Structure 1
């Protein structure tokens, strides 16, 4: 089978590779689509010191299962959960699986330890815990579920309330999905901030009914005149260096 490998800066190779026999909890997927994450770009730009596999926004069809796999069947369409948890540590047992430091073998760990393929390949081996069945959605759209999970995590953490004024910084796919989620949760006014060069993304945000678009290369966030003086909630999907400027426009009690 073929698999893509990356090495910084932006060097790529397509190689013929063999995958090992499945372990009892393994699921073999025939990959149908794989999204390109900002992390993949960082990896390609500077982080891949040696040749490595990459890609984690994965959807595919189950081709083979290990002897202990019961949650999916051969032929099913599945999403790949890109993180996993042990289920037995103190954090997991208290419902904070997001804080687990003893993760079960997920696609990243398996690939790192055993030199397996990841999303940019014809097939991938994952742990059964990472296989989530789905139906009724095209594979290309289903690959957006992984970044959509980030948008959901943002909104759950910020917890916008009815009639809040909300600022979303960054109009990548995660920011654009966050706009729609925040609107569905009852925000009164949604402002978005982005560089003016991303015209298509700005037009998409406008089609979602945002109150206004702040073009940060022309108007700094800190100098924008918000109707309430600032915003009640802010979701930042841009580099961390913008956070101090966002803090300057938060209303009292804002998140």
Structure 2
């Protein structure tokens, strides 16, 4: 079978590999869709400390069960499934307390286990142990189901930040994650949602699809001043930084309302993780700043339900479909910002 293996930064190889067999407690699936994201770009360029190469990457996975290992119940050949990416251990102090997204022993598909840029893959016992295999609803296709994983992360972030009825929400970053944030904020009852990006082309492309109440190009205007103007100087109730930008995080503090909430959703580059933050603004204006990292198995289930119900449509966000042989092109397309969501179809 064909796989895409990461060996080193700048070295992802298309190779033939033996087709795997499901062992006890495992499932084997034929991968139908494995969508790409900015994390794949970062891995391709810089590697990752949790990846011991060579490793088949890809973690936004949907496919069809083709073999059921001994001891696995509830699944059969032909079942359509979506697989979680982040795998909590289920037994550490954080998991015991229900805080699965900050599991101290978390592992991940495409990092610790072989991922979805392959024709076939094994769903490890660790995934089934935490109920991390989800049945795809009949009205959801495989490509849409693969977007459940990033939507699950977005759901986690918005729940932490308390996005809800009547809120004015600013989403900074018009990539696929930003688009999902716009759509989910609407589904959660936000009154107005503004989308901000430096790249005019990407902003216009995404805004045409998700239709924010305002699309603000940070390369042409001061986004802080524009958000304040649009809110009669009050500021936004919630600001979500869905981009790897320290300036976006700093600007968030300047455009959020009194008692507002900020979600630092996008992580910063490892060599530049420090920002300047006005602590007095946080103190006197009673601003809350939240981190958001990954998703739990339950978030994945509920993300699939949001897609199936139509509350958060994702089909129109998938703007490029490519074969596995074009994996390098897919990753570079994500990096260029010329597509919203790119999916690989092995």
Shared topology, TM-score over 0.5? yes
Equivalent positions of 1:124-139 (< 5 A) are 124-127=121-124, 128=128, 129-136=131-138, 137-139=140-142
Offset from partner CA, 1:148-186 (integer Å, 9 cap, x none):
112211211111232221101112122112111111222
- 2:244 is the counterpart of 1:239: yes
- State the partner residue of 1:13: 13
Once the two structures are TM-superposed, the CA of residue 106 in structure 1 deviates from its matched residue by 5.0
- For the Cα contact (< 8 Å) 1:192–1:212, is it kept in 2? yes
- The range that moved more, 133-142 or 54-63, is 133-142
Once the two structures are TM-superposed, the CA of residue 9 in structure 1 deviates from its matched residue by 5.0
Once the two structures are TM-superposed, the CA of residue 109 in structure 1 deviates from its matched residue by 5.3
Once the two structures are TM-superposed, the CA of residue 51 in structure 1 deviates from its matched residue by 4.5
Instruction: Give unmatched runs, 5+ long, in structure 1.
Output: 112-116
- State the partner residue of 2:207: 202
- State the partner residue of 1:249: 255
- The range that moved more, 139-148 or 43-52, is 43-52
- For the Cα contact (< 8 Å) 1:106–1:126, is it kept in 2? no
- For the Cα contact (< 8 Å) 1:158–1:234, is it kept in 2? no
- State the partner residue of 2:269: none
Once the two structures are TM-superposed, the CA of residue 220 in structure 1 deviates from its matched residue by 2.3
Change beyond 3 A, Cα 1:29–1:20: closer
Once the two structures are TM-superposed, the CA of residue 55 in structure 1 deviates from its matched residue by 0.6
Q: TM-score, normalised by structure 2?
A: 0.66
Measured in 1, the distance between the counterparts of 2:87 and 2:252 equals 32
- 2:77 is the counterpart of 1:80: no
- State the partner residue of 2:231: 227
Equivalent positions of 1:46-57 (< 5 A) are 46-47=46-47, 51-57=54-60
- State the partner residue of 1:216: 218
- State the partner residue of 2:115: 118
Measured in 1, the distance between the counterparts of 2:232 and 2:71 equals 57
Structure with the greater relative contact order (CA < 8 A, sep ≥ 6): 1 or 2? Answer: 2
Q: TM-score, normalised by structure 1?
A: 0.88
Change beyond 3 A, Cα 1:160–1:107: closer
Measured in 2, the distance between the counterparts of 1:21 and 1:58 equals 18
Specify the SS of the correspondent of 1:219: coil
Measured in 2, the distance between the counterparts of 1:240 and 1:82 equals 24
- State the partner residue of 1:114: none
Alignment RMSD: 2.1
- For the Cα contact (< 8 Å) 1:72–1:133, is it kept in 2? no
Measured in 2, the distance between the counterparts of 1:23 and 1:50 equals 22
Once the two structures are TM-superposed, the CA of residue 16 in structure 1 deviates from its matched residue by 1.4
Once the two structures are TM-superposed, the CA of residue 19 in structure 1 deviates from its matched residue by 4.9
- 2:42 is the counterpart of 1:42: yes
- The range that moved more, 39-48 or 17-26, is 17-26
